[in-house]
Amino acid sequence: MNYKKRIISIMLISILIICAISAVSAYTGTGFSHNVPSYKYTSQSESSILNKYNDTSCHIEESGICTKVVDGDTIYVEGVGKVRFVGVNTPEKGVEGSQTSKYFTQKFCLNKRVGLDIDDRKNEDRYGRKLAVVIVNGKNLNEMLLKEGLAEVMYIPPSEFVPYDWTNENTPSHTTQKTTAKSSSSSSDSSGAYIGSANSNKFHYPSCKWGKKITERNKVIFSSRDEAIKMGYQPCKVCSP
C-alpha cells in the first residue's frame, strides 16, 4: 500500500508541476500583440530607420553598453542593471509580435552604448528595474517602438513622461507631467474642471478635501473627465468626479 501511495503522490506532484508550467507559459501581460513581420527590418539599415525620427528632447543622465535584450521593452545596461522602457509595452514572450519587437530593440541596442533619461518621478518599478527613455543616436527608442506599431502605450503615473506625445494618436497633448504641473501652478485659482497630483493617480473636483491638499507645485489641471482618464488617472472615491 505504501508503494501505491508513493506512486499516487508522485503523479499528483507531476500534475501540479505541469499545471504551474502551463500557467507561466500562458502569461500574456496586457494581451497586446501586433503582426509586424521581423523581415521588415532585416533589410533596413539602422540609419534609414533613425532618419525618419527627430532628435529627442530627452537628456542622457546615464549611459552604458547594452549587454542583453530580454524583450522589446527590457534590456540590461552595463553599470546600470535592468532597464524597463518607460511608458511603453511590447508583446510578452510567446505572444504574436514579441520576436519582431525584440529584434527591433536588439538592432539598436545590443552590444552598443545607449543613453538613458531616468524617470525623475519614479526611478524604478516594483521589480527594481530602472524606468527610462532609451536614447540611441539622439533618438527616443521608446517613441520609435510606438510609432512603428511594435509597442502600446503603458502610462502609469506618477511619471516624468507622458507617452501619448510619442504616438500618432489623437490623445491629450502634454510634454511631460512635470511641465503640466508647472503650468498649472500659474493658475492658482484651479480653474480647471478637475485636478490631480503629479505624485498620485487620482483626480478630484477642485472642491474635494483631498484635492485641496495638493500643493501648487504638484497640481495637474484637466479640462474634462475624459482627459484625466486618458492620462491614466482614476476618479477619487470621496468626491466621485
Q: What's the pLDDT score for residue 101?
A: 97
Mean pLDDT in residue range 2-11? 61
Instruction: Give the integer Cα–Cα distance in Å for 161 and 178.
Output: 8
Phi, psi of 194 (to 5 degrees): -140, 155
pTM attached to this predicted model:
0.64
Quick: pLDDT tens for 118-157: 999 999 998 999 999 999 999 999 999 999 999 999 988 8
Quick: pLDDT tens for 48-105: 999 999 999 999 999 999 999 999 999 999 999 999 999 999 999 999 999 999 999 9
Percentage of residues in the chain having pLDDT higher than 90: 50
Instruction: Give the integer Cα–Cα distance in Å for 132 and 129.
Output: 9
Q: What's the pLDDT score for residue 23?
A: 46
Q: What's the pLDDT score for residue 2?
A: 61
Mean pLDDT in residue range 199-224? 82
Q: For 115-147, give the DSSP string.
A: EEEE-SS--B-TTSPEEEEEEETTEEHHHHHHH
For 39-156, the fitting CATH number among 3.90.650.10, 2.40.50.90, 3.40.30.10, 3.30.720.210 is 2.40.50.90
Q: What's the pLDDT score for residue 25?
A: 47
Beta bridge partners of 235: 203
